[in-house]
Structure 1
Amino acid sequence: MEPSLDTSAAMPTAPAPALPRTVYPILGAISFSHLLNDMIQSLILAIYPMLKSNFALSFGQIGLITLTYQITASLLQPLIGMYTDKHPKPYSLPVGMGFTLSGLLLMSVAPSFPFLLIAAALVGCGSSVFHPESSRVARMASGGRHGLAQSLFQVGGNAGSALGPLLAALVVIPHGQRSIAWFSLAALVAIVVLTQVGRWYQRHPLAKKRGAQAAHAALPRNKVVLAIGILVLLVFSKYFYLTSISSYFTFYLIERFHLPVQAAQIQLFVFLAAVAAGTIIGGPIGDRIGRKYVIWVSILGVAPFTLLLPYANLFWTGVLSVVIGVVLASAFSAILVYAQELIPGKVGMVAGLFFGLSFGLGGIGAAVLGQLADATSISYVYKVCSFLPLIGMLTVFLPDIEGKRAKA
């Protein structure tokens, strides 16, 4: 009997070497690619003052550029995620970056507003492929530390978003629209890196088992639908507010405090750097204490600071924008992983849905807030948006689906 006991004891240890481990080189590569991708996107946002001047655009047209990019991305992302859940496409990542490269080059030579919209749409198509597939790769490489992996992935994007305005101030504004083409080198580097990631993805066992990984949801369907609805409203509050900063903060600083364009872009860089710092916090803390608590603190906890911002002087505007960036940014990793646990086995679809929502709501927000700014003022826009984080009170209705898993 003892030999059989030894054999049975050995059996559970046989798979131990095959247990998933966090693959930091892949997470680093996908985060770096995210940095380059989002640097390109935020560069476009940061040159809005130049485009407004060069093409005599209204705030409404500025918002329409963002809307075109965001809607293109948001409509396609869930569909691409749903398709690749069943049919993995490891090399779709460099192909998607090729769309971004094309959009960059077109924007550098665009002769009129319609061509700017086409360029924005191409960049949106690139994002529609990049984000759901990259989020899937991050989860595959997480080794079970899903919050950490999503935070590492997203901090690359936020760091890139912070670099965009700084590079716009240093490169594009002094040298003009044609200098946008210089950043095609960043897209080419990303294509090379993502090709290597695609090779790892293709060899990964989960790339061949995706269709077989459907799991049973922990909650009844009606509760899952309710929870997803609440998460959508939270994403709405977060991204409408973030859009008010990313698209119009430079205009706000110029209008209210009479800052020069480059100084205002540096302030935007500081805010986006704070967003990058905040992103890395939410995922690991969610792994440790639970996603719901992170969502609660991040969305509702930022409300006092957003309510103060429209009435602050220049110094306190800078301080409050940093606090808002850090606190608000910690939510998305937690929201995304929480949603993926609500709907097991649909990693790509959920990632595409929530990245798509973030882009789509951000685009709608840019257009709506641009029209509101044209009708009133930028300062009034910030007074209206300051109430958005109060939607975070809905977090109390989210079910507790993690239990002891939060400490895993």
Structure 2
Amino acid sequence: MSGAAVGVGRKGVDWRGMGALSSGHLFTDVNQGAVAALIPFLVAERGISLAAAGALVLAATVSSSVVQPLFGVFSDKRPIPALMPLGLLVAGAGISLVGVVESYAVIFSLIVLSGVGVAAFHPEAARYANYVSGPRRAQGMSFFSVGGNAGFALGPALTTPLVLAFGLSGTLFLVLPALLMSLVLFRELPRLSTFRPEPVGGGASPERPVGRGVTFGEWFAFWRMIGVVVIRSFVYFGLVSFLALYYVQVLGESEALGNTAVTVMLACGAVGTLVLGRLADRVGRRAVLAGTMLAAGPLLYAFTLVAGSAPVLAMGFLGLIGAALIGTFGVTVVMGQEYLPERIGLAAGITMGLSIGVGGVGATSLGLFADSFGLSNTLLLLAALPALGLLLTLTLPKRAPKGGGR
């Protein structure tokens, strides 16, 4: 079957290709999730300070997120599909060796190496997730994003039992899933390489010939959309960091209930990702993004009102908050690729990497705010921020390029 026949003119997502890409995303992001799980063990057994432990988390964030646009630029100039399995393998190898070395400098270097592998995987994988999605780009990219969300959550669940059973050297086992999945991706590369992008606003058409470059207006729209992503990431990381603590210190509940609340939010976010991806293909990307920004603030404020008196209702609000905040991760990746149709690797690197990383690093400043004004006011601040995201979203162009992007 020809590349044109495989990649263009399909009515929906090629699920074999998307299954391989989303699974690769899962096993890549397992290594990111493993870093946080390793920190307590490294502090206890390697004697590193809390400041040094924080530096490891920052190193993982910067190397895996902030570096992604550089790989995106490289991918746009010369696509190298092999970066997907190679990036996954490097990510797994780096994190697997962390537990068997003693030197802090070597541990730091291995975490950076693993992060670079993560960064190498994402832009190229997002490119092919776009290709195999056909005209259903939001649906396909949402499925791709769920793989990453699941991997990040699975990282601690895999790492902690291994370290408890075998000591820090148990991290060596983490190379096995990376190795197996990289072999699967290597086997799928010939088929994935036959896919071509569906014609969109930046595809070959009389209105927009390939190679005409990106206009100032497209860049301006793209960066406004990135502003929305940063705000969303700020709220998301703020809740992940302080929600369980809010249950303990403000509501007087147990740590177990606080962690359950975070799990409910994340699990509903995964469901929301799949639902909102399909919805975005039908009613438009901007409409879905605006709707979630409109809903997130009131939902979070409502949660603060009922959390102490109606715990079940509060969990319901958290589920909706998770769906609103996390559910548009895939949608915004597609929006970025449609705003920069000839720079889809760079768009993915910034949307999935840089902007989320900046939001995560910026959210650490919430700790200073919480120390000064308390956790209750911190959640109220987080509830106010989506309003700014909504205003930015409403300035975005309402586009309808070929293939269903809006």
Match of 2:183 among 178, 192, 206: 192
Tell me the residue number matched to 2:73: 82
- Residues 28-107 of structure 1 mapped to structure 2, 5 A cutoff: 28-46=19-37, 48=39, 55=47, 57-58=49-50, 63-107=54-98
Aligned residue pairs, count: 388
Cα deviation per residue 1:266-301 (whole Å; 9 max; x = unaligned)? 543333222211111222211111111011012231
Match of 1:356 among 348, 353, 356: 353
Cα distance in 2 between the residues matched to 1:23 and 1:229: 30
Q: Does 1:137 align with 2:139?
A: no
Cα deviation per residue 1:56-85 (whole Å; 9 max; x = unaligned)? 754x66554332222223332112112222
8 Å Cα contact 1:70-1:362 kept in structure 2: no
Tell me the residue number matched to 2:285: 291
Q: Does 1:346 align with 2:343?
A: yes
Q: Give the superposition deviation at 1:161.
A: 2.7
Comparing 100-109 with 220-229, greater Cα deviation is found at: 220-229
Tell me the residue number matched to 1:396: 394
- Residues 229-248 of structure 1 mapped to structure 2, 5 A cutoff: 229-248=223-242
Q: Which amino acid aligns with 1:392?
A: G
Q: CA RMSD in A?
A: 3.5
Cα distance in 2 between the residues matched to 1:151 and 1:285: 11
Q: Does 1:319 align with 2:316?
A: yes
Q: Does 1:224 align with 2:218?
A: yes
Q: Which amino acid aligns with 1:86?
A: K
Cα distance in 2 between the residues matched to 1:153 and 1:76: 20
Tell me the residue number matched to 2:384: 387
Q: Give the superposition deviation at 1:117.
A: 3.5
Match of 1:278 among 262, 272, 292: 272
Residues 386/172 of structure 1: CA separation in 2 closer, same or farther (3 Å cut): farther
Tell me the SS of whatever aligns to 1:191. helix
Tell me the residue number matched to 1:259: 254
Comparing 251-260 with 21-30, greater Cα deviation is found at: 251-260
Tell me the SS of whatever aligns to 2:365. helix
Cα distance in 2 between the residues matched to 1:293 and 1:218: 28
8 Å Cα contact 2:88-2:182 kept in structure 1: yes
Structure 1: give runs of 5+ residues left out of the alignment: 1-14
Tell me the SS of whatever aligns to 1:384. helix
Comparing 236-245 with 175-184, greater Cα deviation is found at: 175-184
8 Å Cα contact 1:97-1:187 kept in structure 2: yes
Tell me the residue number matched to 1:154: 145
Tell me the SS of whatever aligns to 2:263. helix
Comparing 115-124 with 289-298, greater Cα deviation is found at: 115-124
8 Å Cα contact 1:162-1:271 kept in structure 2: no
Cα distance in 1 between the residues matched to 2:349 and 2:382: 26
8 Å Cα contact 2:213-2:342 kept in structure 1: no
Q: Which amino acid aligns with 2:330?
A: S
Comparing 234-243 with 303-312, greater Cα deviation is found at: 303-312
Comparing 340-349 with 233-242, greater Cα deviation is found at: 340-349
Cα distance in 2 between the residues matched to 1:377 and 1:175: 40
Q: Give the superposition deviation at 1:41.
A: 1.7
| Structure with greater proportional helix content | 1
Cα distance in 2 between the residues matched to 1:395 and 1:18: 31
- Aligned-pair identity (%): 29
Structure 2: give runs of 5+ residues left out of the alignment: none
Residues 345/219 of structure 1: CA separation in 2 closer, same or farther (3 Å cut): closer
Cα deviation per residue 1:351-387 (whole Å; 9 max; x = unaligned)? 1121122442144235434555667766654443332
Residues 123/400 of structure 1: CA separation in 2 closer, same or farther (3 Å cut): same
Cα distance in 1 between the residues matched to 2:59 and 2:177: 23
Q: Does 1:330 align with 2:323?
A: no
Tell me the SS of whatever aligns to 1:40. helix
Cα deviation per residue 1:82-105 (whole Å; 9 max; x = unaligned)? 222221112111111122113312
Comparing 354-363 with 121-130, greater Cα deviation is found at: 354-363
